[in-house]
Amino acid sequence: DAFLSNYDHFLTTCAQRGVKPLIVLFDDDFFDVNNVSTAAAAAEWVATRNYRTSKWMANPGMPLLNADHAAGWPLVSQYINDIVGTKADRRVLGFDIMNEPNRAAPFAGGLVAFVEFAVNYTARYSEDAVTTVDAYSAVPPNLNLIEGALSYHSYYHYSHWHDCMANASDVRSMQGAAAAAQYVTAVQVSQRWERDLPVIVTEFGQSECYCPAAEAIQAAGVGWILWELLLSHDQFGKFQGLLYANGTARSEEEVACLRRL
């Protein structure tokens, strides 16, 4: 109940500021929390509040997914019902079903089967809100037929983020080419299956690369979400993120540039 109350507060705050968020429902990245394979164990771990100082973690984690698969996905279904079930909620832009699905899963069909189930189940409840999965390794082969938007992650030329400003033209060139290629894919989907899908980059960035990348992506006719907005809350704070919790920015110049787009 506390989580859903916080979630509603988040959506209300976004709406007051004219923002429609893309909600990430599940995540396959980095690590599983030890000894969490049931809803009760997850609740106990959340009560410790250790997540506030933890590194980035999977949600809900492979052990819990494996146990839920064996039971026919009841926990996953209830979670989707709770988060997505308010059909008339216009505060939400859409749902990213799973961030970077990529790991080998110990159940039949693997993550591909889970992602396909979750996309189809979410679509039943989401009405006007779009559903998408960033184009990663463990996605269904028919993803373009079942998701409501095309999305991808793009980290070209970000190995040395501190060199971004000196190489802004390179950043624009690589990001523009990647965005244009995704736009072509959307056109092909439209022509082949008569499905007009929006295209969005749901992750790109690292500090001073944000604005030149966003300029190129936007010029290609593709939407974008930078990764990530907030600094110093996980293991990526040293090279990703733009704003501190107190509202100050890593780079006022970068903030001003993004606000002009």
Residue-wise pLDDT for 155-212, tens only, equals 766 555 566 777 888 888 988 999 999 999 889 988 888 888 899 999 987 766 888 9
Kindly report the pTM of this predicted structure: 0.90
* DSSP bridge partners of 59: 27
Q: Which region among 61-65, 181-185, 218-222, 228-232 has the lowest average model confidence (pLDDT)?
A: 228-232
Mean pLDDT, rounded, for 227-246? 81
Pick left, alpha or beta for residue 35 (phi over 0 → left; psi -120 to 50 → alpha; otherwise beta).
left
Domain total for the chain? 2
Among the listed residues 93, 22, 24, 35, the one whose alpha carbon sits nearest the alpha carbon of residue 63: 35
For residue 119 the two structure tokens come to: 């996309």
Q: Are 64 and 33 in contact (CB under 8 A)?
A: no
Please measure the distance between the N-terminal and C-terminal CA atoms of the chain and give it in whole angstroms: 38
209: in domain: yes
Which residues lie closer than 8 Å to 219 by C-beta, 6 or more apart?
176
Rounded Cα–Cα distance for residues 138 and 112 (Å)? 5
Q: Based on the domain organization, do 115 and 10 belong to the same domain?
A: yes
143: in domain: no
Q: Based on the domain organization, do 116 and 161 belong to the same domain?
A: no
Rounded Cα–Cα distance for residues 131 and 152 (Å)? 13
What range does the domain containing 166 cover?
149-261
Q: Based on the domain organization, do 12 and 88 belong to the same domain?
A: yes
Q: Based on the domain organization, do 118 and 153 belong to the same domain?
A: no
Mean pLDDT, rounded, for 84-109? 88
Q: Are 254 and 207 in contact (CB under 8 A)?
A: yes
Residue-wise pLDDT for 97-146, tens only, equals 999 999 999 999 999 999 999 999 998 887 778 899 987 888 899 998 89
Average pLDDT over all residues of the chain: 88
133: in domain: no
Q: Based on the domain organization, do 92 and 203 belong to the same domain?
A: no
139: in domain: no
132: in domain: no
Q: Based on the domain organization, do 2 and 104 belong to the same domain?
A: yes
Q: Based on the domain organization, do 22 and 68 belong to the same domain?
A: yes
Rounded Cα–Cα distance for residues 250 and 237 (Å)? 11
